[in-house]
Amino acid sequence: MSTTQHQQMVEFFLGLQDRICAALEAADGGAKFHEDHWDRLGGGGGRTRVIAEGNVFEKGGVNFSEVFGEMSPEFAKQLPGEGTRFSATGVSLVIHPRNPHVPTVHANFRFLTKGESWWFGGGADLTPYYPVLEDVVHFHKVWKQVCEKYSPLIDYKKFKNECDQYFYLPHRKEARGVGGIFFDYLQGDFDALATFVKDCADQFNSSYIPIVERRKNSPYTEQEKKFQEYRRGRYVEFNLLYDRGTVFGLKTDGRVESILMSLPPTVRYWYDYRPEPNSKEEQLTHYWLLPKDWAEMG
């Protein structure tokens, strides 16, 4: 893997962070991202941007990082390639809206090397609390369309199914949200795959911002806000127990504040909570969180 290819992705991800932050600030209409530059002791660093207490976004982060160096032999065994020398660059974001009718969203696009091996990873997934079919279908259609542009190199159904499988909490026996796409260890023709990843990453704004604009002024009750905070607990559980990005960052001595910016600002844990039968809260787990071919609906 050449330095030129790595640098190409670094420059793209820096621009991607700018474009996403600009779109989110415009949708919020008030708050701006606070930026921190940080250095990693073992090599590299990043540019963390966090938005908080906005008109629309209660908390969110859009992080760029470029790190390199040596990973522990134990952790190296879990990844492709020989040796312990690695590099990684990418953008990772999580947005927690204030209004429970606006879904939480996560996306990540990254490029990694280890020894002579390299691969791409990434994807995006939606976590609504009070889902609307129009929104869920829109989100999935955007990702389906960009993936199908690159068929047969890219298999949308595979990425969609991998997302459903990955963002799943085994201890709860339920999905975190309504999915999207997810891919990892994507290897082959660098130029072709880099073109796909760039195109895919640049679809984030069109996948999410229209949903925000439709729902950000929806009225909501105190009870709906409390339910949103309760469901945010599932986000905490997944990110701390299963998320590969969290594990990778912590195992490679990344900046803890940047890694954990994905956690929501307020979370509520109710003991043995059971929603009212046939309520919207019950429908979330009984209908919406069950995998479906959303792009074919609506």
Positions marked active-site: 106
Determine how many CB atoms are found less than 10 A away from the CB of residue 278.
Answer: 9
Closest listed residue to residue 192, CA positions, set 154, 160, 156:
154
Q: Which amino acid is at 191?
A: D
- Reported for 158-166, long-range contacts at CB under 8 A and 24+ positions apart, including other chains, are 159/123, 159/183, 160/295, 161/291, 162/123, 163/123, 163/125, 164/291
Exposure letters 90-113 (e unless 16+ CB within 10 A, then b): bbbbbbbbbbbbbbbbbbbbbbbb
The CA distance from 107 to 204, in Å, is 8
The CA distance from 68 to 90, in Å, is 12
The CA distance from 38 to 59, in Å, is 20
The CA distance from 187 to 227, in Å, is 41
Closest listed residue to residue 285, CA positions, set 216, 222, 234, 224:
234
Q: Which amino acid is at 106?
A: H
The CA distance from 163 to 108, in Å, is 12
Q: Which amino acid is at 140?
A: H
The CA distance from 120 to 190, in Å, is 9
